[in-house]
Every structure is written in structure tokens, then in C-alpha cells.
Amino acid sequence: MTDDAVDDHRPTESGQAAAAPAPYVRHDRRSGLTDPWEPLYSHYGQDAVWIGLRAAAPHANSRGFVHGGLLTALADNAMGLSCVHARGDPGVRLVTVNLAMDFISTARIGQWVEVRPTVIRTGSNLCFASALVLADGKACARANATFATPSR
């Protein structure tokens, strides 16, 4: 994604966010955790599920930075969905058994924030993934996670 594509999708003069940049569409999975962060957007690629949002005041801490907890939860969500996508079985349910996050820089209100995961390995019981979190195309965090198929 080029910087020009992101700049075309900043909030309008009325303060409402414009549509998400291509190839994103409205995210079709909702949960009680992520509902307050709507609208969320996603892109189902060949190898991963990207998740993004236009950072706004409800996403920020008192310093005007996107809260690290939100970035971590979005990374967890995107990596988990990517592992399910890579396994090719949409009915499988995974749980996070390990998650590490490194914050590289800040994401700020008004920026397009996106999580771009990479599935490292899938197995019968475990899946390993990593992700970069980008703010207007620049890395602001990285994540690594392990997911497991829970016992029934």
C-alpha cells in the first residue's frame, strides 16, 4: 500500500472517516470486545487475514496514542483468523496459548492502523503466527503468537 492510498482515506472535513483503503471491506466478524472499536475492516488474502481501522478518540489513551491493548487485541484477532484461514477449515476454533507484543513506535488518532499477519506453521494441534502492526504504512508494533485447538 502506498502512502498516497492511505492519505486518500483520512477523515473528511466533517470528521467522519472515509472508506477504508483497498483492498479492505467491512469486517464480518463481531464480538463484544471489538464492537466499541467499529468500524473494523478486513482483507482475506490468499495466506492471511488483515484487519484495519481508522484510529479515533475511542481507540486512544490519554496521550492521544492508540492504546497498546487495542493493538494487541487486534493482532491476536488477525493472527488467529489467519491461522484458521491457513488450515482451510472455517469450523475450527483456536485459542491463544502465547502472545508477545513489541511496541516499536506510536499510532495516533487519524492514522490508518492495520495488522498484517504471517502464518509460520500450522499443525494438527498448534499454529504459529507473527504480525506487523502498521500506522499509515510504518511499523508501530510486532507480534508473535501460538494458537491451539482446544480439547472438546
Q: Is the peptide bond before 11 cis (omega within 30 degrees of 0)?
A: no
Q: Are 129 and 145 in contact (CB under 8 A)?
A: yes
d(Cα 129, Cα 152) in Å, to the nearest integer? Answer: 23
d(Cα 149, Cα 152) in Å, to the nearest integer? Answer: 9
Distance from first CA to last CA of the chain, Å, rounded?
A: 41
Q: Global pTM?
A: 0.84
Q: What are phi and psi of 31, to 5 degrees?
A: -150, 165
DSSP string, 29-96: ---TTTGGGPPPEEEE-SS-EEEEEE--GGGB-TTSBBPHHHHHHHHHHHHHHHHHHHHT-TT---EE
Q: Which residues pair with 128 in a beta bridge?
A: 121, 146
Q: What is the pLDDT of residues 6-28, one digit of tens each?
A: 333 444 333 445 568 877 777 87
Per-residue pLDDT of the chain (152 residues; tens, 9 = 90+): 333 333 334 443 334 455 688 777 778 777 767 667 778 899 999 999 999 999 999 999 999 899 999 999 999 999 999 999 999 888 889 999 999 999 999 999 999 999 999 999 999 899 999 999 999 999 999 999 999 998 76
